[in-house]
Amino acid sequence: MIKVDFSEIDGRGVFATEDILVGVELTCNVMIFKNSVNFLEKWTYPWDKDHFSFCVGFGSFFNHSDTPNVKIKSIDKKLLTKTFIVINDIKKGEELLLNYSKRIKMIETDRSMIINIDKKLNKNTVIEPKEADRF
């Protein structure tokens, strides 16, 4: 269904090996690291206020787009998985794209969480959603 291959956007990306319809879910396992470990920053996602996650396999190869065709659907903190969902039909050979903005500011609308990165301190500041807004 998908493969990691060279991308014209940036390095490598995730590509459809067949047509993929809206609603298809793609799940990957994650490894969790403390925020102080930042050598993987380019390929990681916020997990909670003290940790970030590294998706094992395809999940760390999504490139950015302002018009994404994939978004984060859910995170399972017990199974250590992250599930992405296709939000626009994707044709065979097309790249799967996620909306993020160069790690300066990341908005994950599915989790209602805003991550601001303080460049001077090189730390993540997490603003948690209201308890009622949690998924």
The overall pTM is greater than 0.85: no
The 10s digit of each residue's pLDDT in 3-35 is 999 999 988 999 999 999 999 999 999 988 877
Strands (E), 37-129: 44-48, 51-55, 63-64, 70-76, 81-86, 95-98, 105-108, 113-118, 123-127
Which domains, ranges and CATH numbers included, belong to the chain? Answer: 2-101 (2.170.270.10)
Task: Inform me whether the pLDDT recorded for 112 exceeds 50.
Answer: no
